């Protein structure tokens, strides 16, 4: 099958370029970008869409770089295509940003593409990555260390970026251009193995093909496709975790560690947070720990683990303590986010929000937060128990424990509001002092 027919089939299958699209094409003047535009122009005979070219002179190769720029302008004119050009001092940009020349060049290109896309009211950016680029990227990432996501090569479609010739080998591109006597430029730096990617292309791949397997590139690309299928299956499987604002730890732990990392990454992305290996590692470390745990995600957000639940919350300033309040029965007071009421009333059904006591009208109560060493004799139990142990058993989050009201009488905790009463103060009388709590915020 001819290369153009393969490109047409790929385009129809993946809906890369559609009718009435306006596309910005990254155009270096090299064989890949020239071939790409030639294919787009042929495709334009079948589909109605608009093309503009963008060329960036990185000022790295002197006269050769200027030659490429001139070629790009003239090529555009010959094809009646609008060409946008820009000179960028990549060396200065790399020094200023503290990044490599390759990274600086890439950032400059993509920034300019986005600017021209907005200026021309285009909706897609077309890049000339080929099949060899995918294989080189696979080997490059493998050598540097990456996961399955990093090994699926360069996707044909991601956001506004599309790559129609990503399954055409460089040798096929050169053969087509030479056969049809179509001019293109050669970047001399691509013939030097100074950069890692160049060395992979010029040294490593030819060595493996000659020494071990002449179809090495085909085998690698088959592996890339297999990895993509696996990644797609995984993505579908974990998609449901993106629907909720919370995660259940027990459900996450059913997956292997690598998949857990993906789930956590997507969960953080959903909340607009940056993701890195350190953050994911910190979260993974608390998954199997008991009780409540926290991980700082940024200056504004934390991830809270409250027993089986993970959730992202905004940080807030925790007050060291809420002022103690003194009240005489009967009375009603506000303590933090709660209303505490003490009244002499008929006994009705008891629930967690109330506690019927043997306290008397006129008794003085203190409403306060917990203190080190606090204990209570819980209803139905013999002997005292630490508040800390009760909070743990009741699965009360650590950060909430300081704000739960304690009703105290003569130094004794009568009631942990909404949680547990004191056996010594419990009453079964039909008319007695009832303590009740209601959250107001």
Residues with Cβ within 8 Å of 411's Cβ and at least 6 positions away in sequence, in order, are none
29 in a known ligand binding site: yes
Task: Judge if the upstream peptide bond of residue 159 is cis by omega within 30 degrees of 0.
Answer: no
28 in a known ligand binding site: yes
100 in a known ligand binding site: no
396: its two tokens:
């009360």
19 in a known ligand binding site: no
3-class secondary-structure state, position 75? helix
d(CA 338, CA 320): 17
Binding site per annotation, positions: 28-33
Binding site per annotation, positions for ATP: 28-33
């Amino acid at each position: 099958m001819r290369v153009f027919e393969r490109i047409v089939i790929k385009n129809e299958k993946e809906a890369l370029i559609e009718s009435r699209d306006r596309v910005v094409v990254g155009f270096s003047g090299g064989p890949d970008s020239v071939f790409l535009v030639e294919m787009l122009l042929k495709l334009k005979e079948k589909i109605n869409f608009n093309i503009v070219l963008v060329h960036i002179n990185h000022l790295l190769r002197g006269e050769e770089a200027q030659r490429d720029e001139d070629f790009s302008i003239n090529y555009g004119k010959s094809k009646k295509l609008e060409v946008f050009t820009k000179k960028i001092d990549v060396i200065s940009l790399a020094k200023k940003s503290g990044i490599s020349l390759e990274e600086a060049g890439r950032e400059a290109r993509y920034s300019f593409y986005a600017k021209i896309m907005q200026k021309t009211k285009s909706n897609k950016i077309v890049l000339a990555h080929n099949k060899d680029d995918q294989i080189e990227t696979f080997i490059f990432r493998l050598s540097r260390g990456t996961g399955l996501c990093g090994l699926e090569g360069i996707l044909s479609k991601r956001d506004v970026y599309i790559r129609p010739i990503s399954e055409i080998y460089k040798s096929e591109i050169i053969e087509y251009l030479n056969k049809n006597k179509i001019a293109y430029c050669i970047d001399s730096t691509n013939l030097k193995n100074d950069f890692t990617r160049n060395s992979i292309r010029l040294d490593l791949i030819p060595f493996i093909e000659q020494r071990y397997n002449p179809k090495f590139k085909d085998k690698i690309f088959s592996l890339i496709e297999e990895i993509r299928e696996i990644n797609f299956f995984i993505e579908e499987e974990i998609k449901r975790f993106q629907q909720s604002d919370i995660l259940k730890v027990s459900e996450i732990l059913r997956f292997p560690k690598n998949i857990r990392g993906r789930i956590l990454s997507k969960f953080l992305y959903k909340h607009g947070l940056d993701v890195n290996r350190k953050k994911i590692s910190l979260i993974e470390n608390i998954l199997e720990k008991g009780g409540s745990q926290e991980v700082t995600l940024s200056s504004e957000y934390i991830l809270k683990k409250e027993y089986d639940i993970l959730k992202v919350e905004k940080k807030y300033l925790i007050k060291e303590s809420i002022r103690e309040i003194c009240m005489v029965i009967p009375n009603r007071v506000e303590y933090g986010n709660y209303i505490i009421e003490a009244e002499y009333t008929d006994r009705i059904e008891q629930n967690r929000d109330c506690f019927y006591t043997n306290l008397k009208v006129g008794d003085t109560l203190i409403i306060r937060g917990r203190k080190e060493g606090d204990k209570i004799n819980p209803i139905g139990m013999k002997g005292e128990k630490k508040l800390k142990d009760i909070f743990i058993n009741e699965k009360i989050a650590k950060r909430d424990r300081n704000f739960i009201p304690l009703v105290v009488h003569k130094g004794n905790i009568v009631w942990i509001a909404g949680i547990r009463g004191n056996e010594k103060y419990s009453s079964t009388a039909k008319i007695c002092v009832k303590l009740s709590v209601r959250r107001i915020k």
